[in-house]
């Protein structure tokens, strides 16, 4: 096995051969042959942070693995372990002690509030004259929706008029698009 280190004898940075490994390392320089002891690099133990994963009307307590110095921010996409299952999630809020913050080091995080982004439900409001028909479409989080496109939801066909995103933006121009995981609501009219 090899490790990249600077040799104290010849001063060159090179891949050095590890001869033995215990509390420290016994290393031989691959260039000049000098043998010396050096400390092992300490790998920090991972920490598990509680993550509340929202799945369309249902929440589950899971956990996310970090190294203590890792920084987590709102909007980060992570993998949450929920027992035997894993889920792709997006961070919606970070709890650090008694307050909510925009970002924090993993060691300071009390809980992450997340939402699943792999399988999502997109809400659609179809405006038909004086009435609005609510429809929900279950799909993959990466499914694209395009303003002006015609979709089928059950027996209802509709044309997308505009798309409201989770960050507050509204897509109104024909041809503008977004993926399902970023959409808050789609507005359309019957076809």
| pLDDT tens, position by position, 137-183 | 989 889 999 999 999 988 889 999 999 998 899 999 999 999 998 99
Closest CA to 108 of 54, 60, 53, 47: 47
Q: How confident is the model at residue 4 (pLDDT cuts 50, 70, 90)?
A: confident
Q: Which of 84, 116, 148 is the last residue of a domain?
A: 116
Q: Are residues 58 and 6 in the same domain?
A: no
Instruction: Pull the structure tokens for residue 37.
Output: 């002891």
Q: Are residues 137 and 166 in the same domain?
A: yes
Q: Do 16 and 41 touch, CB atoms closer than 8 A?
A: no
- Number of folded domains that form the chain: 3
Q: What pLDDT sits at residue 167?
A: 87
Q: Are residues 131 and 173 in the same domain?
A: yes
Domain of residue 175: give its range.
119-190
Q: Do 191 and 158 touch, CB atoms closer than 8 A?
A: yes
Q: Are residues 137 and 81 in the same domain?
A: no
Q: Which of 95, 116, 137 is the last residue of a domain?
A: 116
Q: What is the pTM of this model?
A: 0.65
Q: Are residues 35 and 54 in the same domain?
A: no
Cβ neighbours of residue 75 closer than 8 Å, sequence gap 6 or more: 90, 91
pLDDT digits (tens, 9 = 90+) for 78-110: 999 988 888 899 999 999 989 999 999 999 999
Instruction: Pull the structure tokens for residue 178.
Output: 């977004």
The C-alpha atoms of residue 35 and residue 17 are separated, in whole angstroms, by: 9
Q: Are residues 93 and 123 in the same domain?
A: no
Q: Which of 98, 116, 134 is the last residue of a domain?
A: 116
Task: Report the 3 state secondary structure along 84-149.
Answer: CEEEEEEEEEEEECCEEECEEEHHHCCEEEEEECCEEEEEEEEEECCEEEEEEEEEECCCEEECCC
Cβ neighbours of residue 109 closer than 8 Å, sequence gap 6 or more: 49, 66, 72, 94, 95, 96
CATH of the domain at 62: 2.40.30
């Amino acid at each position: 096995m090899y490790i990249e280190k600077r040799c104290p004898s010849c001063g060159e940075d090179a891949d050095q051969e590890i001869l033995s490994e215990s509390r420290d390392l016994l290393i031989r320089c691959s260039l000049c042959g000098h043998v010396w002891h050096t400390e092992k690099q300490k790998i920090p133990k991972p920490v598990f942070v509680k993550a509340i994963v929202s799945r369309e009307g249902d929440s589950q307590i899971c956990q996310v693995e970090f190294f203590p110095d890792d920084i987590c921010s709102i909007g980060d996409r992570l993998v949450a372990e929920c027992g035997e299952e894993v889920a792709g999630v997006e961070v919606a809020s970070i709890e650090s002690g008694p307050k909510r913050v925009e970002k924090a080091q993993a060691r300071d995080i009390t809980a992450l509030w997340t939402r699943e982004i792999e399988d999502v439900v997109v809400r659609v409001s179809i405006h038909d004259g004086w009435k609005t028909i609510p429809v929900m479409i279950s799909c993959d989080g990466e499914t694209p929706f395009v303003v002006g496109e015609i979709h089928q939801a059950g027996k209802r066909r509709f044309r997308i008029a505009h798309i409201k995103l989770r960050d507050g933006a509204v897509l109104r121009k024909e041809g503008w698009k977004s993926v399902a995981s970023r959409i808050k609501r789609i507005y359309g009219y019957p076809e």
